[in-house]
């Protein structure tokens, strides 16, 4: 068999009966047709218990396969069809309506601090899961909230049959995203990546669902989660940008150790105990002890500007998310001895004037934001108050006389939730809502880069 055409493949009968998306593999293609019309006219399309349809002319599922890319299957729907649905689907029904009741085969790659929270939040938010698979470097059993969780070894084949995979593993050349990200996409799995590897890739949308959900419509199978400090800042900055336009931003962040990972959480706890017992704390995760200290460096220095990688992320990611590279941004990112939740002091210059009262009104009406602002009664955002909640809190809203049309504000948000795991899950939820929850047939897939 050679050439490009429309192919119909056998699928797992149980998947079809359950109404879930079947596991498609690069084998078992049994029929080839030169056009969709020829395929739809085939008698077995109307009679097969697996490929059941509502009416003549509606074939349930078609894959278009380029024979020179045998392992990369691009899925396409006929009008009014929802993959895996074995019942009637009238033509003209929207994807959002068809997705109601659908369940997904979901993977979480990496089971550190962020991956663990992803598992918790998927359960907490009742994400529509048919099967949840946890992948990591090695096979083992982990305990999450008192329940054993089986962890499988991450391999390319592990992504066969997955609909959505949340990547929360190690960054860099040897990390999970670089190793498996585009390979998973090539196997038909939508990837939502929490790491930094593809955030600035032009193929990859960088998304905060409350800020730029429209970017998801052009995804190529892989979507990036912004950096934790960027997300938390965006929740306050984006509404102000929409209302009055951002001209300049100066950010000072106070970032919790959970942003570094589980080892840093343990190190802070150990150092606090050592100090309380009169022992000198030792530093392994950070260059100096973090207990009762602050460290004015997060990430390495990447260029001659003197800014760290964390500070550069805030600049570049803000430009990409807001679609406005003219905004001048500078920041100092600091690690503080707090277990969880990042805080940030933001000083902004607006293009149009906005009073404090107007700013409060704008922020109070923003999705995912809670205004906590009554300084006379000591009411303002704190890491403790925001740890374990979905919203980002905003307070200390006041004029900033340093800038024309200047405002100063203080924000806090759970870096493991909204700054990482929650935002990733919200991206998937928004993709389902928008009907863009599959790898598009036009996806530009370059495995491994």
Predicted confidence (pLDDT) per residue in 327-377, tens digit = 999 999 999 999 999 999 999 999 999 999 999 999 999 999 999 999 999
Structure tokens at 332: 């100092």
pLDDT score, position 303? 83
CATH fold match for the domains 104-197+422-434 and 229-415: no
Looking at CATH, the fold of the domain delimited by 104-197+422-434 is given as Rossmann fold (3.40.50)
Residue 398 and residue 353 in contact, taking contact as beta carbons nearer than 8 Å = no
What positions carry a catalytic annotation?
Answer: 228, 342
Q: What is the mean pLDDT of the segment spanning 99-123?
A: 93
pLDDT, tens only, 162-191: 999 999 977 665 689 999 999 999 999 999
Q: 309-322 and 228-244 helices cross at what angle (nearest 10)?
A: 40
Q: Which residue has the tokens 């690069």?
A: 26
**364 vs 443, which has greater pLDDT?**
364
Residue 356 exposure: Cα atoms within 13 Å on the Cβ side = 12
At 262-294, the pLDDT tens digits run 999 999 999 999 999 999 999 999 999 999 999
Which pLDDT score, from 0 to 100, does residue 347 have? Answer: 98
pLDDT per residue over 136-148, tens digit each? 999 999 999 999 9
State mean pLDDT over 233-254: 98
Whole-number average pLDDT of the chain: 82
| Residue closest to 182 by CA, chosen among 207, 161, 165, 200 | 165
Q: Give the start-to-end residue ranges of the domains of the chain.
A: 5-99, 104-197+422-434, 229-415
Q: Which CATH superfamily is domain 229-415 in?
A: Dihydrodipicolinate Reductase; domain 2 (3.30.360.10)
Predicted pLDDT at 337: 98
Average pLDDT over residues 79-104: 48
pLDDT value of residue 68: 31
pLDDT at 51: 32
Chain position carrying tokens 């959002």: 96
pLDDT at 171: 65
**Across 300-327, average pLDDT:** 95
Q: What is the pTM of this model?
A: 0.79
Q: Which residues 6+ apart lie within 8 Å of 263 measured at CB?
A: 284, 285
Cα separation, 396 vs 249, whole angstroms = 16
217-230 per-position pLDDT tens digit: 999 999 999 999 99
Q: Are 410 and 341 in contact (CB under 8 A)?
A: no
Confidence of residue 444 (pLDDT cuts 50, 70, 90): low
Among 419, 422, 356, 364, smallest CA distance to 394 is for 364
């Amino acid at each position: 068999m050679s050439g490009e055409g429309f192919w119909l493949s056998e699928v797992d009968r149980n998947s079809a009966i359950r109404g879930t998306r079947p596991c498609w593999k690069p084998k078992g293609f049994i029929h080839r047709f030169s056009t969709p019309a020829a395929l739809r006219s085939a008698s077995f399309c109307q009679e097969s218990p697996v490929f059941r349809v509502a009416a003549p002319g509606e074939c349930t599922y078609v894959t278009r396969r380029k024979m020179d890319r045998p392992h990369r299957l691009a899925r396409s729907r006929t009008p009014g069809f929802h993959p895996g649905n074995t019942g009637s689907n009238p033509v003209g029904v929207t994807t959002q309506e068809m997705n109601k009741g659908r369940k997904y085969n979901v993977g979480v790659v990496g089971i550190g601090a962020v991956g663990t929270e992803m598992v918790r939040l998927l359960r907490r938010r009742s994400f529509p899961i048919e099967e949840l698979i946890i992948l990591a470097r090695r096979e083992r059993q982990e305990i999450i909230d008192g329940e054993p969780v089986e962890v499988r070894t991450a391999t390319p084949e592990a992504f066969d049959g997955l609909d959505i995979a949340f990547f929360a593993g190690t960054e860099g050349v040897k990390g999970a995203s670089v190793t498996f990200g585009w390979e998973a996409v090539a196997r038909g799995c939508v990837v939502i990546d929490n790491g930094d590897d593809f955030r600035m890739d032009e193929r990859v949308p960088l998304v905060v669902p409350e800020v730029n959900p429209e970017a998801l419509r052009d995804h190529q199978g892989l979507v990036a989660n912004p950096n934790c400090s960027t997300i938390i800042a965006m929740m306050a900055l984006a509404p102000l940008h929409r209302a009055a336009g951002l001209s300049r931003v100066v950010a000072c962040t106070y970032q919790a150790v959970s942003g570094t990972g589980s080892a840093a959480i343990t190190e802070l706890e150990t150092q606090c105990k050592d100090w309380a017992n009169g022992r000198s704390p030792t530093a392994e995760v950070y260059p100096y002890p973090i207990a009762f200290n602050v460290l004015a460096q997060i990430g390495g220095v990447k260029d001659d500007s003197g800014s760290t990688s964390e500070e550069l992320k805030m600049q570049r990611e803000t430009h990409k998310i807001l679609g406005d590279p003219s905004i001048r941004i500078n920041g100092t990112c600091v690690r503080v001895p707090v277990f969880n939740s990042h805080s940030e002091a933001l000083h902004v210059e607006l293009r149009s004037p906005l009073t404090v009262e107007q700013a409060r009104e704008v922020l109070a009406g923003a999705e995912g934001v809670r205004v906590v602002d009554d300084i006379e009664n000591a009411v303002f955002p704190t890491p403790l108050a925001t740890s374990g909640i979905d919203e980002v809190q905003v307070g200390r809203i006041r004029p900033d006389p340093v800038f024309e049309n200047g405002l100063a504000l203080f924000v806090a948000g759970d870096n493991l939730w909204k700054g990482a795991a929650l935002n990733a899950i919200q991206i998937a939820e928004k993709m389902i809502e928008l009907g863009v929850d599959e790898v598009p047939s036009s996806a530009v897939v370059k495995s491994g880069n």
